[in-house]
Every structure is written in structure tokens, then in C-alpha cells.
Amino acid sequence: MESITDLRVRYAETDAMGIVHHAAYIVWLELGRSDLLRSLGSGYAEWERRGVHMSVSGLAMTYRAPCRYDEVVRVRTWILDAGRRKVVFGYLLERDGQRLAEGTSTHLVTGSDGRARTLPEDLLALLLSAGPSRSGGPG
């Protein structure tokens, strides 16, 4: 299972090269995660109200083609791995079917105080229901 997020590039996300700045993609991954969790039935705002946070511990991105103001970018997001203490997401970014970038983000489960904690059973079950797979992704 993957979620799909379509977003339109903001002018503020571009830089003097005339293309989207590479840090903006990192924010787009976050939109993808938000949408994936919401589609699983429990949005991240609800997680936080329960005192469950996912702190980013790692990022890896490969950029393949630039994109520009006003273009529509599709972010595909899926779960690569989900455990009590760590969750890994995979991402693919496309524009009109052309691959723009792909990446992964790794998250440690923490409380509101930033300390490590374990995922509540129901949230872990939710993530596992998305069929995490190291070989996963949109093939």
C-alpha cells in the first residue's frame, strides 16, 4: 500500500537556479508521511495528542530531474519497515510519470519530551497493515 500526494510547486520553493531548492523536497516527504498516516486512519496530529512522536533520525535522497514553479508533483509514500521503536518510509517523486527523486526517512519513536518510547500496539498494527516491505515501493 502506498499513498499519493499531489502538490503544486510554490514560488517560494524555487531558488535562483530557477528550479525547486533541494531542501523543499524534504518538506514534501513530510506531506507524504502525513497523508499516508491519515489514509491509514490515524493522522499524525492525533499521534501527537497521544504523546507519540516520530523523530527523524535519518534521511537519504537521490535527485534525478529538477522541477519548477506551478508544476504538479506526485509524492508516493509507503512503509519500508515498522517496528516498536523505529519506522522507515520510502518515497518516490514524479511529475507526469517522470521520476524526479526518490528517498527514505528513518524515524525513532519518542514521547513529547523527545525520549525514546515504544509505539502503542494499535499504531504499530496500523503501520503493519500498510504491508511494509524492504523490497516494497512502487516497483
Q: Are 132 and 82 in contact (CB under 8 A)?
A: yes
Q: Is 57 in the site for a second copy (CB under 8 A)?
A: yes
Per CB under 8 A, does 27 bind a second copy?
Answer: yes
Which residues, in sequence order, are CB contacts of 51 under 8 Å at separation 6+? 111, 112
d(CA 37, CA 43): 5
CA atoms of 139 and 125, how far apart (whole Å): 24
Query: Known catalytic residue: 15?
Result: yes
Residue choice 1, 4, 19, 124 for contact with a second copy (CB under 8 A): 19
Binding part of the chain for a second copy, among 64-72, 76-84, 91-99, 125-133 by CB under 8 A, reads 64-72
CB of 99 to a second copy, least distance (A): 13
Q: 121-128 and 22-40 are packed helices; what angle lies between their axes, rounded to 10 degrees?
A: 110
- Establish if 22 lies at the interface with a second copy (CB under 8 A): yes
Which of 6, 41, 56, 129 binds a second copy (CB under 8 A)? It is: 56
Per the CB < 8 A criterion, the answer to whether 77 and 5 are in contact is: yes
Residues numbered 93 to 122 that lie near a second copy (CB under 8 A) are 114
Our finding on whether 41 is near a second copy (CB under 8 A) is no
Q: Is residue 39 within the footprint of a second copy (CB under 8 A)?
A: no
Binding positions for a second copy, rule: CB under 8 A: 8, 10-12, 14-19, 21-23, 26-27, 30-31, 34, 43-45, 48, 53, 55-64, 66, 68-70, 114
